[in-house]
Every structure is written in C-alpha cells, then in structure tokens.
Amino acid sequence: MTSKVDEALGDPSLTSRERANLELVVMFRGLPFNERSKYTVDGFRPARAGMANLAVINQVTGPGYRADSIPDRVDEITGIIAHGDWVWATWIIRGTHLGELYGIPATGKPIEVTEVGQWRIQDGRIAEAWFLVDELALVHQLGLLPSHDGGPRQ
C-alpha cells in the first residue's frame, strides 16, 4: 500500500524544489522537538500552535505540549501537497494522554484527532508554520465535556 507521502513525492508535476520541500517537512515532522531548530530559520516560531485555544483557555504561556504529553504519539499523514515554497498536510494524531497537555493533567485516555499544518520553506529551511488541531474532538475524547445528563462524557 502506497502512503500519502509516497504518492505526493511520486507526483511527476513536482519541481525538484517542491520535492525537496516535501522531503524536508516530512523529515522535520519526524524529529524530536529538541532537534528541529537546525532545520528552521533563526528565530523561527510557528504563527499558530496546533492547540492554541487550549493554551488560551488554560492560561498556558510556555510550552504546553512536551514529549511526555503523548509519549506514544504516532501521526498518520492523510494528505500532503507542495506548491512553490509552501507545503500543506493533514494528519491524524494517535496516542495516549499520559502527561500534562496545555494545562490538562494526564487522563490516561487514548486520543485520535486530526491536525492540519502549513509550512513555508526559505533557502532549504522552515521559515513559517501554522497548525490547527481539532481541539473539540480532543477535549471530548479526554472526557472534559459534559454529557447531556450533566455528567462527564466517557
């Protein structure tokens, strides 16, 4: 079975630069957070973190997501495209909520949520990025929304 990444990389209409940009983003996403800075421009900060609304609601000002938040996290890319200096992707985050996540204490619950992202590449490095997670699905899966009877959802 061909992955969405393989399909995208096999697109004959991609330029060599677009192919390199796709490869950079896929490689970058697979790295631990502490190794990513060597592939970004100096001073790089994403324009929007994936779970920005949770950060605001829970008044989290520092890193709200750490390696121990979802230590068994696996991302399945469901779509990825490149055009010029831009790469866009959608993926499903799967794992177990075992550490604090944007102010939410560990629940031990499994999660499966969709995230989208876009990156702008400049001179072979990531210059801009923007992410959006389906936070409503996430808090529902973590049991943080009341059920119709007023109790927590399971």
Q: What is the CATH number of the domain that holds 118?
A: 3.10.450.50
Is 148 a domain residue? no
Is 153 a domain residue? no
Average pLDDT, rounded, for the chain:
90
**What pLDDT, on a 0 to 100 scale, did the predictor assign at position 150?**
53
Which string of b and e fits 103-113 if b means at least 16 CB within 10 Å? ebeeeeeebeb
Q: Strand, helix or coil at 38?
A: helix
**What pLDDT, on a 0 to 100 scale, did the predictor assign at position 1?**
59
Q: Which residues of the chain have pLDDT under 50?
A: 153
Q: Which domain holds residue 67?
A: 4-141
How many C-alpha atoms does 139 have within 13 Å on its Cβ side?
Answer: 15
Is 154 a domain residue? no
User: 101, 54 in Cβ contact below 8 A?
Assistant: yes
Spatial separation of the C-alpha atoms in residues 138 and 94, rounded to whole Å? 11
Is 137 a domain residue? yes
Q: How many domains does the chain have?
A: 1
Nearest to 18 by CA among 100, 82, 90: 82
Is the pTM of the predicted complex or chain greater than 0.75?
Answer: yes
Is 81 a domain residue? yes
Nearest to 138 by CA among 67, 63, 77, 57: 57
Is 130 a domain residue? yes
Is 151 a domain residue? no
- pLDDT > 90 in the chain, percent: 72
In this predicted model, what pLDDT tens digit does every residue of 20-41 receive, in sequence order?
999 999 999 888 888 989 999 9
Is 15 a domain residue? yes
